[in-house]
Amino acid sequence: MTDLFDHAMQERMKSEAPLAARMRPRTLDEYIGQEHIVGEGKLLQRAIKADKLFSSIILWGPPGTGKTTLAQVIANSTKSHFVTISAILAGKADLRVVIDEALERRRLHNERTILFVDEVHRWNKAQQDALLPHVENGTFTLIGATTENPYFEVIKALISRSRVFQLRNLNQTETGILLDRALSDKERGYGNKRVILDPDARSHLIEVSSGDARNALNAIELAVESTSPDQDGNIHITLDVAQESIQRRAVLYDKDGDAHYDTISAFIKSVRGSDPDAALYWLAKMIYAGEDPKFIIRRLIILAGEDIGLADPMGLVVASSAAQAFDFIGLPEGIYPIAEATLYLATAPKSNSAGAYFKAMKKIEEEGQVSVPRHLADGNRDAAAMGHGKDYVYPHESDGHFVPQQYLPKRLLGTYFYSPSQEGYEAQVTARLEMWREAQRKALNIERREDVPDMTEEEIKEMKRKIK
């Protein structure tokens, strides 16, 4: 009798489940999207169809891209025993039960176990470590699902024993197929109702859902369930209804996760690449998602020195002024100085010549301590006893406020770290600097030295890291 009641309850729960759960694909043929990993002839597709999923896998992707659905498809198509646990709710004790039962099934029935761990990144290192020996000895095949970058959130030992598959947001065609299927399916969707979805309403749902299948299905469900039939029995979903049913989507943005670093990276690269439109787009995404505006401004100030430099010295002034203005105003109006700084820097001439500093730093690291030339030393203390400052010529007492004397240690004479670009204001610097350097070479009778090695991008990054 208890079994009958349980069965009735389960059937009722299925019928009352949200549309997104009811419409979850049951087979690989019903699965929409992710052609790059489950398309015809792909490795994972072949493994699922042949029930040969022997290697553990990790499914990584944004919400609503089909990670749990793909795991359920595998469950429906395998002869192995399939177990699902949530890393949010389950702990090591629950895992211990799963392991013991898997060992018992293997011992008594030679039956394999596939363990699906949803949100696997939620487990701490100790919990993930508990999986390792049982993944390694084949007690079960692991399927982990995560919205976070597994290379950061999952322990390396588990990653090395798994294949990582990255899922992508659905495209608009795929999202449209899901909506149409939900409206036509008589068993699980709304095929038994007379739903009229206006083309502009359909386009809006597809656009705003941004490739999140669950978001799109939740919206169409709300639209259908909240709209009364007209006198002909039609449920008419207009654009207004669609707009009410799918509010603006929360942007995928974790301040401590990939989205944070990827978006600020896209923003800075767009400004550096002189694309103001892309820069404004990524700026808007960060502000929309609640990013700290001061973090954005700090990065703009860094960019002004690193990527614009003397090609436009006003870049640093504008960025610094934006920081001061934002402190004074705050949001929402404070976005104007940030946007102005973004546009100014994106459209300014570019030069990374300020990075010459790191070449000088590398020289210091290579050569160690070098004494300051006597004529450059402070003459206020030891001029009489040590001769400090002797023979120094004050440039402002000469024509052009320049004297061709040397300012580097002797063994570095003729060494040049700074190479100005030909962009903007810095193009004017080039002519002056070459004239001064030529005068120095002639006065000191030295040749230009080329012993300052070019630094790779990685070497510059390492130097910056040391400084920080």
**Mind listing the domains of the chain with CATH numbers?**
34-166 (3.40.50.300), 172-245 (1.10.8.60), 258-350 (1.20.272.10)
pLDDT for position 419: 86
DSSP label at 424? T
The better pLDDT of the pair 189, 256 is held by: 189
End-to-end CA distance of the chain: 70
**pLDDT bracket for residue 5 (50, 70, 90):** very low
Q: Is the dihedral of CA 263, 269, 275, 276 positive or negative?
A: positive
Mean pLDDT of 196-206: 92
Mean pLDDT of 302-317: 94
242, 205 contact by CB (below 8 A): yes
- Single-letter amino acid, residue 452: V
Phi first, then psi, for residue 154 (nearest 5°) are -110, 140
Element (H, E) at 77: helix 67-77
Cis peptide before 18 (omega within 30 of 0): no
pLDDT for position 22: 92
133, 101 contact by CB (below 8 A): no
- Single-letter amino acid, residue 100: D
Mean pLDDT of 414-424: 86
**Which three-class secondary structure state does DSSP give residue 468?**
coil
Task: State yes or no: pLDDT of 300 exceeds 90.
Answer: yes
Decide the pairing of beta strands 56-60 and 162-166: parallel
The better pLDDT of the pair 314, 450 is held by: 314
How many other β-carbons are positioned within 10 Å of the β-carbon of residue 431? 10
What is each CA distance from 73 to 15, 25, 58, 66, 156, in whole angstroms? 20, 7, 15, 10, 27
Phi first, then psi, for residue 163 (nearest 5°) are -100, 130
State the Cα–Cα distance between residues 216 and 26, nearest whole angstrom. 19
Percent of the chain's residues with pLDDT above 90: 46
Among 3-17, 73-87, 436-450, the least confident range: 3-17
Task: State yes or no: pLDDT of 2 exceeds 50.
Answer: no
State the Cα–Cα distance between residues 205 and 238, nearest whole angstrom. 11
State the Cα–Cα distance between residues 300 and 365, nearest whole angstrom. 29
Cα 116 from chain centre: 26
Among 158-167, 332-341, 347-356, 390-399, the least confident range: 390-399
Picking from 373, 448, 361, the residue whose alpha carbon sits closest to that of residue 413 is: 448
113, 107 contact by CB (below 8 A): no
State the Cα–Cα distance between residues 22 and 433, nearest whole angstrom. 73
Name the burial class of residue 394, with classes exposed (0-12), middle (13-18) and buried (19+) by CB atoms within 10 angstroms of its CB: exposed
Mean pLDDT of 455-464: 62
pLDDT for position 165: 94
Task: State yes or no: pLDDT of 1 exceeds 50.
Answer: no
246, 208 contact by CB (below 8 A): yes
Mean pLDDT of 284-293: 86
State the Cα–Cα distance between residues 261 and 255, nearest whole angstrom. 8
Task: State yes or no: pLDDT of 458 exceeds 80.
Answer: no
pTM: 0.62
